[in-house]
A and B are shown apart, each in its own frame.
Chain A
Amino acid sequence: AQKVTQAQTEISVVEKEDVTLDCVYETRDTTYYLFWYKQPPSGELVFLIRRNSFDEQNEISGRYSWNFQKSTSSFNFTITASQVVDSAVYFCALSLPKLSFGAGTTVTVRA
């Protein structure tokens, strides 16, 4: 069975603060993909990143960065210097290849 856990239900920060979203996954497979998606209030899921199980290199894209630790089965996401436009629900997902989504973390960035 595969499972994705996002322990943080809601996070509220003031603009310019850093935000780290935790994601822990479970799978017995050795080959898999991990994803992060953003769902703003409009409802559309926006693809942020894909990482395959053999690539543990961390990635940075602008204010976004991801830390993949296979040893702890974690794929955490950090937003640096948060902005109001970052307010959304963020989902971590595991693909085998059907996507299993975590429960999501609601991020609210206050001006």
Chain B
Amino acid sequence: GAVVSQHPSWVICKSGTSVKIECRSLDFQATTMFWYRQFPKQSLMLMATSNEGSKATYEQGVEKDKFLINHASLTLSTLTVTSAHPEDSSFYICSARDLWGGDTQYFGPGTRLTVL
């Protein structure tokens, strides 16, 4: 149980294009999902909190117009990196909080984005 999927697992795109990453909780409902960014050999940095049916809450320093988050259902959240640039290249990880699991966050396998 408590499986979170992420798609795609990796993506290479040209500078200026937009990339959408999907995060799904497969066997539980998640009213809250989180998006993290991780640079090589560093810890996870929380980008935003995604709540089903409402606007996402972004952490300080994260551009909300750059990183669009939509949480349209209890099992799906999407992160769109708009007008991607090489500095957006990173490992993006989502997590879903199991409402009945005492605040435990289960993580997706991550998406490696490379912007050329």
Q: What is the interface of chain A, defined by CB distance below 8 A to chain B? A: 33, 35, 37, 42-47, 50, 52, 91, 95, 97-99, 101-104
Contact = CB atoms under 8 A, between A and B. Distances in A.
A33 B102 CA distance: 8
Nearest to A51: B102
A43 B104 contact: no
Contact residue range for chain B? 20 to 34
Given A33-B103, A47-B104, A50-B104, A97 B110 contact: no
* Chain B interface, >50% SS class: strand
Contacts of A47: 2, 104-107
Nearest to A52: B102
Interface string B73-116: 00000000000000000010101010001111111111010000
Given A33-B103, A97-B103, A91 B44 contact: yes
Given A33-B102, A52-B102, A95-B103, A101 B108 contact: no
Contacts of A35: 104-105
Interface centre among B44, B97, B106, B109 (most CB of A within 10 A): B44
18 contacts: A33-B102, A43-B93, A43-B109, A44-B107, A44-B108, A45-B44, A47-B2, A50-B101, A52-B102, A95-B103, A97-B103, A98-B34, A98-B49, A99-B105, A101-B43, A101-B44, A103-B42, A104-B42
A35 B104 CA distance: 8
B110 to A, nearest CB: 5
B68 interface: no
B44 A43 contact: no
Interface string B36-66: 0000001110100100000000000000000
